Structure formats: structure tokens, C-alpha cells
Amino acid sequence: MRLVCLLIATAIVAGAQPSPPADELLLDGAVYVLQIRDVAVLREVAELPAMFGKLTGGAVTLAMYPGEKSIVVLDVAGNRTVVPSRGFTTEGPNKLASASHYQEAKRTAAEGSVAWAYVDTTLLGPALKNADPMDALLNGPWKELLRGSHWMSAALKIDGKKLRLQAVSDGHGEARSVLPNLAVPRELGAASLWRDLGHSALLPHSSGGVLAENFLEIFFTGRNLGEEVFGKLQPEVRLVVARQEWNPKIGTPEVQYPAAALVFRADAGEDFGEVMEEAWQKAVGLTNFTRGQQALPGLILDRQTYGGVTFTYGAFSARNEKDREQLPVRFNLRPAIVHSGPYVILSTTAELARDLIDAVNREDGRSPKSGGNTVLEVTDPAGIAELLTVDKRAMVRQSVLEKGKKPAEAAAEVDQMIAWARKVKRARLSIDGCTAQLDMELN
């Protein structure tokens, strides 16, 4: 993600001038080398805003390759003096232009790119491990692809207010197809994924992963998680994120979260839906028991029928809350589980569950699929900016308390996120095999 932001930010500042051939820049010695001690090179480069703030024109060529230290090679055509030079490396065994992987990656760069990047993916190491089940679900395939690769290249093209970033790797990825994204009211973004959950490592190999696996086995009554639980889910998985509407009879939380839901399709959907509901109710019961030990309110479970579907949901009572305009953060959650036909829906709110019942009822089983294992769409950046604005005070406070940042610094970071969200009109990321493409339109 930092690579994406770096390329886009550089291109916006640099303008849409064509990039000169990278090998010429490297061979004639017009290359600046920044030696970074940390392997997280991209993070270090992204934290050099002063450098990129001075760019007034030209194109940027980035490269990274191993040596005694992790190294970033940066060339700024037309304005080279802004780069703090720490040495040159155009001669010797580590000469980048003669590296076979670099030459192979360079051949994938699209003509007319305003920015191009080459990354030696063998340096990424720990960054490609799955941190948690959600990370594995969303990012597992491309991380697995890069773990088996040597390089990745990315090229950015600009056409007016439209940006296209295309990344290619030499890893081996299989071609897949995904279902169309689901559309709901107040939607902020959606994703459609192809994930073979029965054979995926959703749980990290750590003490936390082992504990989570033990709890899941309890929730699913000792069933084999690979064959009898995740293996029952079809590989098409969809994620929906939407803004919430607050019931005036209940109130509004001080910190507002968007609602989110996962939509699965399962073999023997009705029977497996009951298995999922039993596990879900056990998880809610354990949560309520734990909160009760801490003298905290618990979720009250109930059932409702909508669109011909009866489903279970939970909610916190607001009876004893005095300030209905500053409710605790727990009131963002009204979790629900829906199982109807082949669909199983896990939602953070009952309202989004109802919207998704409408969405899947409209869906034609013959809906055409699109190529790829991941399609991610940001459909309402303005809504994201509005939500960030509402939560700015809480985000600044959290950054100060947890990260030790000064209030002004934390506020500036939030303002920057809001500004970026307001600049974007829409964005779409698709990943297919060893190729990824990000299309973005600016306001």
C-alpha cells in the first residue's frame, strides 16, 4: 500500500511527463542510492515527504536490491539535486542494470508510464506473513504469490484525472473468477474474493492462532475445521462496508464505525446455516459471559423476519444511557447472522443484514463472473471522508495515547487522510494471477 501511495503521490507532483528508459539512467551513473538499515524500505522512503515535496517535474524510477544493507535506488529525471546522495553503485557485482531479474521486470513496464518501480521481493520476508484471519482472507493469495517470487514491478499511467497502476510479479498465480460485488444503501466499499477456505491457512502459526483454533473447534462442536466447516463454504466470498443510520430512539455513538458484513455461499446451505448459527450463538454467549465477569452489559439476542427470511441478531440496551448523543462505542454493534438458501451472512449490524437480504434476493444465480481472485471497490470516498471527520477527535486521542504522538501531529495525519479521501472519486483494485491493477479517478 505504501508503494501505491508513493507512486501516486510522486506522479501527481511530477506531472504526466514520459519516463526515460531506466537502463540508460542506471548505466550513465545518474542514479542516487539511499541506504536504509531497516528491511521495510518502502516505509522509510514514504517517510521522506520533504524530498518529494520539492519535486517540480520529471519522472521517478525506483528500485530495490540486496547488498550489505537494504537499498533503495531512486532516480528523479530532470530534478536530481533534490535527492540526498549517499553514494553511487553503478559498478561492481551489484550493478542493478545488469541484474537478470531487473531486466525481466523492466520489460513488463507499460509505455508512457510516469512512474515505475522495481522491488526485489526476496527482501520482504516477514511482511508477507499473515497477521490474522482477516489478513489471510483479504491478502492471503497475493502474499503467497510474492513469497514464491523474485521481483515485482509497478507502473503508473495518468490520463487526465484517471490513474492506473499496474503491478506484475514473476510469481505463479492461478487464474480465478469472482462474483459481482453486492450493492447496498450507504455503501462505502465492497470486495469480491475467490478463496479456497478449506485449504487456506486462515489462522496464523502462533499462540494466538492456536487459541483461536481451539475456540473455533468448541464453537463448531469438535468438527474438523478444514473439511466440515471451511470446506463447506464455496470459494466465492464477498465483503460489504457501509455507513450506519442511527435510530433516534436509541441514540448515536460518540465514535462511529461503519457496518461490515461477509457473505458466503455454502454447500447444503440450510443445514450448514444451522451449524453456523449454533457456533455464532456460542461465540455471543461466551462474549456475554466474559463481559458479565467484568460487570459490563451484554448483548440481548432476538429474532426478526425481513424479506421472508427470519434471522438472529443481538443488541445492547440503551435504557440506562443518559446521554443519547454520546453513546459508548459498543452501540456500533448489533451483530446478526442470516442463513437463507445457499447464503450465509455474518454482519456487524442487523440493518446491514436486512440490506443484504434485499441484495441477494435480487441476485440472479447466473450472474456473470469476472476474472481474478480479488476485486476491491471504493464506491463512496466522500462518505469515508465524512466518517473520518466525525471521528477525528477520537482518532487523535487514540493516536496520542497509544502511539505517543503530539496532538498537532496526530491531527495533521487525520487531516491528510481526509484530504486524500476527498480527492478520490472512485477506485477499483483487481488481482488476477500474477497481475494487479488499480484504477482511480480523482475529483
More confident residue, 184 or 142: 184
pLDDT in tens, 58-84: 334 444 444 433 344 443 333 332 233
Q: Mutual orientation of helices 407-423 and 392-403 as an angle, nearest 10°?
A: 130
What does the pLDDT read at residue 330? 95
**pLDDT confidence tier of residue 45, bands split at 50, 70 and 90:** very low
> Number of helices and strands (H, E) in the chain?
12, 18
What does the pLDDT read at residue 228? 85
What does the pLDDT read at residue 200? 64
Asked if 64 and 123 count as a contact pair (C-beta separation under 8 A), the reply is: yes
Distances (CA, A) of 161 to 117, 322, 383, 427, 436: 21, 48, 20, 12, 20
Q: What are phi and psi of 436, to 5 degrees?
A: -130, 145
Asked if 28 and 189 count as a contact pair (C-beta separation under 8 A), the reply is: no
Mean pLDDT value of segment 153-173: 84
Looking from the CA of 244 toward its CB, the CA atoms found within 13 Å total 25
Instruction: Say yes or no to pLDDT of 23 above 70.
Output: no
Q: Mutual orientation of helices 381-390 and 392-403 as an angle, nearest 10°?
A: 70
Q: Please give the distance of CA 302 from its chain centroid, rounded to a whole number.
A: 33
pTM exceeds cut of 0.85: no
Mean pLDDT value of segment 411-433: 91
pLDDT in tens, 212-262: 778 888 888 888 888 888 888 898 999 999 999 999 999 999 999 999 999
- Residue 119 to residue 3: CA distance in whole angstroms: 10
Instruction: Say yes or no to pLDDT of 278 above 90.
Output: yes
More confident residue, 133 or 294: 294
**pLDDT confidence tier of residue 21, bands split at 50, 70 and 90:** very low
What does the pLDDT read at residue 315? 96
Q: What are the beta bridge partners of residue 327?
A: 253
**pLDDT confidence tier of residue 28, bands split at 50, 70 and 90:** very low
- Residue 385 to residue 423: CA distance in whole angstroms: 10
What does the pLDDT read at residue 359? 94
Distances (CA, A) of 276 to 228, 269, 271, 280, 377: 11, 10, 9, 6, 28
